[in-house]
Protein backbone atom coordinates (compact mmCIF):
# COMPACT_ATOMS: atom_id res chain seq x y z
CA UNK A 1 0.00 0.00 0.00
CA UNK A 2 1.46 3.31 -1.06
CA UNK A 3 0.83 6.46 0.91
CA UNK A 4 -0.14 9.56 -1.04
CA UNK A 5 2.20 12.46 -1.33
CA UNK A 6 1.08 15.96 -0.27
CA UNK A 7 1.61 18.87 -2.60
CA UNK A 8 4.13 21.48 -1.44
CA UNK A 9 1.51 24.20 -1.22
CA UNK A 10 -0.55 22.13 1.27
CA UNK A 11 2.32 22.54 3.71
CA UNK A 12 2.51 26.27 3.05
CA UNK A 13 -1.24 26.61 3.70
CA UNK A 14 -0.94 24.52 6.89
CA UNK A 15 1.97 26.68 8.04
CA UNK A 16 0.11 29.92 7.42
CA UNK A 17 -2.97 28.52 9.20
CA UNK A 18 -0.85 27.62 12.23
CA UNK A 19 0.76 31.07 12.21
CA UNK A 20 -2.71 32.66 12.10
CA UNK A 21 -3.88 30.35 14.90
CA UNK A 22 -1.00 31.70 16.98
CA UNK A 23 -2.62 35.13 16.77
CA UNK A 24 -5.82 33.71 18.31
CA UNK A 25 -4.00 31.57 20.90
CA UNK A 26 -0.93 33.58 21.96
CA UNK A 27 1.13 30.77 23.50
CA UNK A 28 4.14 31.27 21.24
CA UNK A 29 4.32 27.55 20.52
CA UNK A 30 2.13 27.13 17.43
CA UNK A 31 4.33 29.57 15.57
CA UNK A 32 7.18 27.04 15.52
CA UNK A 33 4.94 24.31 14.08
CA UNK A 34 3.82 26.81 11.44
CA UNK A 35 7.38 27.80 10.58
CA UNK A 36 8.32 24.12 10.31
CA UNK A 37 5.35 23.46 7.98
CA UNK A 38 6.37 26.37 5.73
CA UNK A 39 9.95 25.04 5.70
CA UNK A 40 8.72 21.57 4.69
CA UNK A 41 6.60 23.16 1.94
CA UNK A 42 9.58 25.07 0.59
CA UNK A 43 11.73 21.94 0.73
CA UNK A 44 9.07 19.97 -1.16
CA UNK A 45 9.00 22.66 -3.84
CA UNK A 46 12.69 21.90 -4.39
CA UNK A 47 12.57 18.10 -3.79
CA UNK A 48 9.10 16.85 -4.83
CA UNK A 49 9.97 13.16 -4.51
CA UNK A 50 9.60 12.83 -0.72
CA UNK A 51 6.87 10.51 0.57
CA UNK A 52 4.24 11.33 3.16
CA UNK A 53 6.12 9.54 5.95
CA UNK A 54 9.29 11.50 5.20
CA UNK A 55 7.30 14.76 5.03
CA UNK A 56 5.59 14.17 8.39
CA UNK A 57 8.86 13.07 9.99
CA UNK A 58 10.66 16.15 8.68
CA UNK A 59 7.86 18.40 9.93
CA UNK A 60 7.87 16.77 13.36
CA UNK A 61 11.66 16.94 13.72
CA UNK A 62 11.79 20.58 12.59
CA UNK A 63 8.91 21.53 14.91
CA UNK A 64 10.43 19.91 17.97
CA UNK A 65 13.87 21.32 17.16
CA UNK A 66 12.49 24.87 16.84
CA UNK A 67 10.48 24.60 20.08
CA UNK A 68 13.48 23.23 21.99
CA UNK A 69 15.75 25.89 20.50
CA UNK A 70 13.31 28.64 21.50
CA UNK A 71 12.85 27.52 25.10
CA UNK A 72 16.45 26.43 25.73
CA UNK A 73 18.47 29.09 23.96
CA UNK A 74 16.42 32.22 23.41
CA UNK A 75 14.10 32.03 26.43
CA UNK A 76 16.60 30.70 28.97
CA UNK A 77 16.48 33.79 31.24
CA UNK A 78 12.74 34.46 31.26
CA UNK A 79 11.85 32.29 34.23
CA UNK A 80 14.65 33.31 36.54
CA UNK A 81 13.46 34.99 39.70
CA UNK A 82 14.96 37.96 41.45
CA UNK A 83 15.46 35.98 44.65
CA UNK A 84 18.75 36.90 46.24
CA UNK A 85 19.02 40.16 44.31
CA UNK A 86 17.50 42.25 47.12
CA UNK A 87 20.89 42.80 48.72
CA UNK A 88 22.01 44.71 45.62
CA UNK A 89 19.17 47.20 46.12
CA UNK A 90 20.11 48.11 49.68
CA UNK A 91 21.59 51.59 49.77
CA UNK A 92 19.84 52.82 46.58
CA UNK A 93 18.59 56.41 46.89
CA UNK A 94 15.14 57.52 45.81
CA UNK A 95 12.66 60.36 46.22
CA UNK A 96 9.62 59.89 48.44
CA UNK A 97 6.57 60.59 46.27
CA UNK A 98 4.01 59.81 48.98
CA UNK A 99 4.69 60.67 52.64
CA UNK A 100 5.31 57.80 55.03
CA UNK A 101 4.63 57.55 58.75
CA UNK A 102 5.34 54.78 61.25
CA UNK A 103 2.86 51.91 60.71
CA UNK A 104 1.80 53.50 57.40
CA UNK A 105 2.78 52.96 53.81
CA UNK A 106 4.37 55.51 51.53
CA UNK A 107 5.75 55.40 48.03
CA UNK A 108 9.27 55.97 46.77
CA UNK A 109 10.33 56.67 43.19
CA UNK A 110 13.78 55.87 41.84
CA UNK A 111 15.56 57.55 38.95
CA UNK A 112 16.42 54.15 37.45
CA UNK A 113 14.50 50.90 38.03
CA UNK A 114 15.41 49.04 41.21
CA UNK A 115 14.64 45.30 41.06
CA UNK A 116 12.57 45.91 37.93
CA UNK A 117 10.41 48.85 39.05
CA UNK A 118 10.82 52.62 39.36
CA UNK A 119 8.11 53.00 42.02
CA UNK A 120 7.96 50.93 45.22
CA UNK A 121 5.65 50.93 48.24
CA UNK A 122 7.63 51.60 51.38
CA UNK A 123 7.51 51.80 55.16
CA UNK A 124 9.72 53.68 57.62
CA UNK A 125 10.37 53.82 61.34
CA UNK A 126 9.87 57.59 61.36
CA UNK A 127 7.65 60.14 59.65
CA UNK A 128 9.14 61.35 56.38
CA UNK A 129 7.51 64.03 54.23
CA UNK A 130 6.94 63.65 50.51
CA UNK A 131 9.80 65.07 48.45
CA UNK A 132 12.53 63.89 50.85
CA UNK A 133 15.40 61.75 49.62
CA UNK A 134 15.48 58.30 51.20
CA UNK A 135 17.75 55.26 51.12
CA UNK A 136 16.68 51.60 51.03
CA UNK A 137 17.50 49.92 54.34
CA UNK A 138 15.76 46.56 53.83
CA UNK A 139 13.73 44.68 51.21
CA UNK A 140 10.94 42.37 52.38
CA UNK A 141 8.99 40.85 49.51
CA UNK A 142 7.37 43.67 47.56
CA UNK A 143 7.80 46.23 50.34
CA UNK A 144 10.95 48.19 51.12
CA UNK A 145 11.99 49.87 54.36
CA UNK A 146 13.54 53.30 53.85
CA UNK A 147 15.45 55.74 56.02
CA UNK A 148 15.74 59.47 55.55
CA UNK A 149 19.08 60.70 54.25
CA UNK A 150 20.50 63.07 56.89
CA UNK A 151 22.40 66.21 56.07
CA UNK A 152 21.33 66.61 52.44
CA UNK A 153 21.49 70.19 51.20
CA UNK A 154 18.99 70.98 48.44
Instruction: Tell me the per-residue pLDDT of 8-29, one tens digit each, with 9 for 90 and over.
Output: 999 999 999 999 998 888 777 8
150 vs 45: which has the higher pLDDT: 45
Instruction: Tell me the per-residue pLDDT of 55-86, one tens digit each, with 9 for 90 and over.
Output: 999 999 999 999 888 878 766 555 455 556 67
* pLDDT, mean of residues 49-53: 85
* CA dist list (Å): 61 to 64, 68, 69, 120, 143: 5, 11, 12, 46, 47
Domains and CATH numbers, the chain: 8-74 (no CATH), 86-148 (2.40.50.140)
| Integer Cα distance of 104 and 125 in angstroms | 9
Rg, Å, the chain Cα set: 28
Amino acid sequence: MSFPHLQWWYWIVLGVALLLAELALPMFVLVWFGVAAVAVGLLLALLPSLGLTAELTLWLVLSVALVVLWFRVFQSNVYKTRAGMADAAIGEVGLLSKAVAPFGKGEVRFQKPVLGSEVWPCIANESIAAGERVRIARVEGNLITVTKIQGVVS
